[in-house]
Structure 1
Amino acid sequence: MSNTTFRIFNPLAPKEDRVQKRRAQLRQAQHNYRERREKYLKDLEEDVSSSRAREARLLRQNKRLSNAVQALTGLLQERGGTVPPEYANLVQQETNTDSPPPVSPSVMSEATTAVSSSVSPTIPKRLPAADVDLDGLGVEFVLALERPCWRHIHGDPDKPDDPSGHTLTASSQVCAISSPSCDAAQASTGSTDQQQIPAAMLENLLKLSQMLNESDREVTPVQAWHYLRSQYQFGKLELESLLSLAQSCTDAVKCHGFGAVIDQNKFKKLASSVLQQRQQGSLPQTMEDEDT
């Protein structure tokens, strides 16, 4: 005997009941879809953070091993040993290459408060930006523009299972590299060693920004840095002017929940005023001055 149970159709049932039931089913389906989507995004964010941290550790390990090989090869040459040509060339290149001075972690940390107090005492404010470590300087510039995101970089504390939406920002990746509990403000004020940050981080973020940010009206901080680097006057731009530009941009930076962005036209105007200024003491106009 069949165990199939048939539901009795009642043609006299009120139409409103069927409509309400269908609406309830749709609401439940939408709710389940949102939950699955948020969980999926959260898992993706965690995977990206873990991948960036592993990449940074591997790059640091590779750098340490490379330095060890160079040191041992140099010692072997001093003792009269025979060194393969490829390793001898590495040592010679290392000896003849003058590395630019690294950027102090505090160079951009106060860019939004005061230009004169933000520059590290070890780096002259008149030093051209091209004469320092551009990778480190770029990271500091991008972190300064991402300042509006610092308070919510890790998402809503009351909703830990929801995605933060900021995994593809420099602040989030710097925190992932240094420590999972790192605060974005700490990352920009010097608690993170710039040597730990992969040089390719900004390049990877730029590629992602070009794919994900299709707006022709707004640019991400890393896109703003790329635009600044592409200008022919950048080589003569001094750190003081770069700091004043970061300070002027803070009022124009916005966050729509997926990282900081800045109006493209406003940024280009501010950047142009900095790049073209002739007098060393002149500072770019602020956003309030532009609006008036």
Structure 2
Amino acid sequence: MKSTSWLIFFSVLLPSLLSANNNAAPPRIPKLDIRFTQKGFKTVPENFVAICNSAAMTIARHYPDRKFKPILIPKANHGYPVQLDQKGPNGESMIMLAVSDGWGWAQIAFQFSHEFAHIVINQDQPRAGPNHWINEAFCEAASYHAIKVMAEEWKTHPPYRNWKSYAKHLDSYAGNYLKKENARPEGMEFIPWLRKHEKALRLGKRYPNREIYKYVSYQLYGLIGKNPKHLAAVGLLNTGLKDQALTTRQYLARWKKVLPPAHKSFADQTAAVLGFPLSSQ
């Protein structure tokens, strides 16, 4: 075959290969066992579980070797979404959501992915004390990521074929949280704004104000969106943590130390975005 023929051949083949790669089925490892156990709730339980599984897998795929416990959803119309400290009758993880029915799929996915991120970060780990706001901000950022990934993957590989048309609604839902104005809360540059509110976030301890930390989440999502593989680093935020009185900078520096080499740069990026560079750490 002449060189010009080869060139034509590859010019036709390459786009097909790239398209095939972009349309690859979402990962199915690790396998998650999610069970909706509430009786009488307005939903199709199988659909509810399919949505939650799709959302959680956008995060769990970055932990292919982790053995996640079965997850029970005993209540979907709780007053607020929460990953419970208490375990199920057989040691299962438990998550409760705050939705009125089973038809708001984007809201279900958004809430469940946030609480699943808490399983990844906080379950069976030391508490972060005044630095818990960083945990919450990462969980919220993970939920933004989940919705965006689902919006893309459902175009070709939704849980059921007839759900493809819902992809655009997921993308629209994510857009509500990813508005450009969130980059400048109160019209301020982000780092000076964070300095203004850091004390309040730290005083919130386990219950920081979401109306404050959501702006931190916006910044963290920017990092995750550029390189989602670093979601594998957030599960180590509290690993081996012994001192809950660490400053924000100390907390981030300690996290960097326990990260494998492939993810240490992500700790640097996170610290820089928050205004606590670790170059000398």
- Of structures 1 and 2, the one scoring higher in RCO (CA 8 A, sep 6+) is 1
Using structure 2 for the length normalisation, give the TM-score.
Answer: 0.30
Q: Which protein is bigger by CA-based radius of gyration?
A: 1
Structure 1 length-normalised TM: 0.29
